[in-house]
Amino acid sequence: MKYYPIELHAHTCHSDGDFSIHQLIQAAKEEPYQVLTVTDHNTFAPYEQWRKEKLEQNQQDDFDGNLLVVPGIEWTTFYGHMLVIGANQVIDWRQAQKRSLDPQLRQIKAAQGIVGIAHPFSIGSPICTGCHWDFHIEDYSLVDFIEVWNRTTPDENYRSQLAYEWWTSLLLQGERISCSGGRDWHRMEAPSENTAISYIGLETFTLTEVYQSLRQGNFYISLGPVMELSFQQAHQNYYMGDNLLPESGILQIMVQDTPQPRLQAFGFDPKTIRVIQNEQVVAEKKLTKGEPLRVALQLVPGYLRVEVLGTAKGQKNQRLILSNPFYIQES
């Protein structure tokens, strides 16, 4: 299993971004991301433009150089925005009702779409109509992830804490739902503004595998440092989003420094791993960068997740990495 840097939320001039599709792809390569999801508001147009140009050159793969390009949209309504990734058609947002989004979510799922709630606690009407999440959802199994960290300086934004609390409350209610980080990339940010980055676990570097890992929740979000994470049980390794048994096992983790040059300047320094079962801290260990750490655990039904804490912009004990959960079955 290898983890690749992925951007899940990016715009072009086909909606409200400044980039052309080619400028966005070039900027992603320079970052460097290895996977880019293009999510303009209610349109696949930039991806379709890129795909058409590739076909004219007799190229049918999903890559631009070494960058894997993923189709998506930001499904934009008066009551909230969603990232819809990989759907084979656009579901009409105008039919969405605030009292229940479930009918449209079922249509998106039928179209093979992966669903992520975008910036749920952003300021809404009248400043940014629809940016705040106001929809009611009855069946959260129709939602794959919540964008917990959005745009620049997510570590300093109180809306990130609100989104984090909502995500963890849904986990406590028994929902299987992931967290994501979205740059919400419209243009190049100022050098003083950091952004979160997501890392997705892939066995093979393909579009199909990206879809599978997003649905499973085999990805994590970070302010910069990178992580290898697995759980060993009965001599087999499991990854985020997998099902575990309520038995003993070994959590395996290794954390290393930030590889992205743009983020290195912020000095994010990982110090501690915090292991959480059902929102109870069950272990907290000091880590040494680049050295594997093994933590023996006795699991109980529910879920298991990991946070990496450290120094961020001179502040200690800040969340630098949030893993997505492993899910522990009833015995």
Give the pLDDT means over successive 10-residue stretches in the chain (331 positions).
Answer: 98 96 97 97 96 95 97 97 96 93 98 98 89 98 98 95 98 98 95 96 98 98 98 97 98 96 93 98 97 97 98 94 97 74
Residues 6 or more apart in contact with residue 92 via CB below 8 angstroms: none
The strand pairing partners of 237, in sequence order, are: 232
pLDDT of 180 reads 98
Q: Is the peptide bond before 32 cis (omega within 30 degrees of 0)?
A: yes
Of the candidates 326, 172, 176, 322, the residue with the CA atom closest to the CA atom of residue 251:
326
pLDDT of 200 reads 98
Cα 59 to Cα 135: distance, rounded to the nearest angstrom:
41
Alpha helices in the chain (DSSP H): 21-30, 45-56, 102-110, 158-172, 207-216, 261-264
| Burial class of 228 by CB neighbour count within 10 A (0 to 12, 13 to 18, 19+) | middle
For 161, the enclosing helix (H) or strand (E) is: helix 158-172
| pLDDT confidence of residue 316 | 94
* In 217-324, alpha helices (H): 261-264
Amino acid at 170: L
What is the pTM for the complete model shown?
Answer: 0.97
pLDDT of residue 26: 98
Contact 181, 197 (CB under 8 A): yes
Tokens for 246, please give them: 């309520």
The set of residues, in sequence order, having a beta carbon less than 8 Å from that of 101 and lying 6+ positions away, is 79, 80, 135, 136, 137
Q: What is the pLDDT of residue 331?
A: 74
- The number of residues making up the chain comes to 331
For 262-273, letters b (16+ CB in 10 Å) and e give bbeebebbbbbb
| DSSP secondary structure code for residue 154 in this structure | G
What domains, with CATH codes, occur in the chain? Answer: 2-221 (3.20.20.140), 226-328 (2.60.40.10)
What is the reported pLDDT for 136? 98
- Which among 260, 277, 174 has a CA at the least distance from the CA of 224? 260
Query: What pLDDT is attached to residue 125?
Result: 82
Contact of 163 with 132, CB cutoff 8 Å: no
Q: Which residues on adjacent β-strands are paired with residue 269?
A: 311
Per DSSP, what are the bridge partners of residue 56? Answer: none
CA-derived radius of gyration, the chain: 19
Angle between helices 45-56 and 21-30 (to 10 degrees): 90
Half-sphere exposure of 330 (CA within 13 A, CB side): 1
- Please identify which residue in the block is written with the tokens 């599709």: 21
